[in-house]
């Protein structure tokens, strides 16, 4: 006897129950099996915890080498712009040449990297790097301000003008980036030192 439901039946008759959807044959089920094979059956929470842990480790590593990365990107970018746009063909003059921007970048990078790698550590809270970044940053901002005001844009071609402006912006941003990174490292080192001194066994010494 057939049990199929006929729409013509009385409305009071219950409709037959549908067979449960086979999760293994759906796209979602196949995706779950695929993820289980790749991640060896790990749950989504464990995968997210691992990804979060990897991001934290990568961020900590980048923070430790950020000073070197900023210096390299700063110097290389300005040097490439200087030679690619042929901004150094004329005889040097403060109002028409950007060679001094490259030299300031090199000096700033060398000073900051040396202060960070040679003289800076967690014991002195990276104070040498902080002082170097702030002093070179202040000098760079004053230098860039004078350069922007006194630079003779009318005597330059359009691409040379844009290249010079871009060099000014990059130099100022790099100086600010060094200062921000130095301040961040200094604050983190002071916080760790304070925790160590106030922790049991730290001796309760004052800073």
Average pLDDT, the chain: 77
Give the CA dihedral 44, 45, 46, 47, nearest 10 degrees.
Answer: 50
CA 179/CA 200 separation, integer angstroms: 34
The distance of Cα 96 from the centroid of its chain, to the nearest Å, equals 34
For residue 142, what are its two tokens?
A: 């004053």
| Predicted pLDDT at 207 | 44
Cβ pair 136, 108 in contact under 8 A: yes
Percent of the chain with pLDDT strictly greater than 90:
30
The pTM (predicted TM-score) of the whole model is: 0.67
Residue 28 or residue 127, greater confidence: 127
Confidence of residue 87 (pLDDT cuts 50, 70, 90): low
Cβ pair 155, 93 in contact under 8 A: no
For residue 22, what are its two tokens?
A: 């086979």
Confidence of residue 93 (pLDDT cuts 50, 70, 90): confident
Confidence of residue 19 (pLDDT cuts 50, 70, 90): very low
| Predicted pLDDT at 42 | 56
């Amino acid at each position: 006897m057939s049990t199929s439901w006929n729409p013509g039946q009385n409305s009071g008759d219950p409709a037959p129950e549908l067979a449960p959807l086979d999760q293994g044959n759906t796209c979602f089920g196949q995706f779950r099996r695929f993820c289980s094979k790749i991640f060896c059956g790990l749950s989504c929470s464990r995968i997210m915890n691992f990804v979060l842990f990897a991001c934290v480790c990568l961020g900590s590593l980048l923070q430790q080498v950020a000073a070197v990365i900023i210096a390299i990107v700063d110097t290389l970018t300005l040097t490439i712009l200087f030679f690619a746009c042929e901004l150094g063909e004329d005889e040097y003059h403060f109002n028409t040449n950007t060679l001094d921007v490259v030299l300031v970048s090199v000096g700033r990078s060398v000073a900051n990297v040396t202060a960070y790698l040679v003289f800076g550590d967690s014991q002195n809270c990276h104070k040498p790097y902080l002082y170097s970044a702030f002093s070179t940053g202040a000098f760079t901002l004053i230098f860039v301000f004078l350069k922007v005001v006194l630079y003779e844009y009318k005597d330059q071609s359009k691409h040379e003008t844009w290249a010079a402006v871009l060099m000014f912006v990059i130099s100022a941003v790099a100086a600010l980036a060094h200062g921000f990174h130095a301040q961040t490292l200094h604050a983190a080192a002071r916080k760790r030192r304070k925790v160590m001194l106030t922790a049991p066994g730290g001796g309760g010494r004052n800073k």
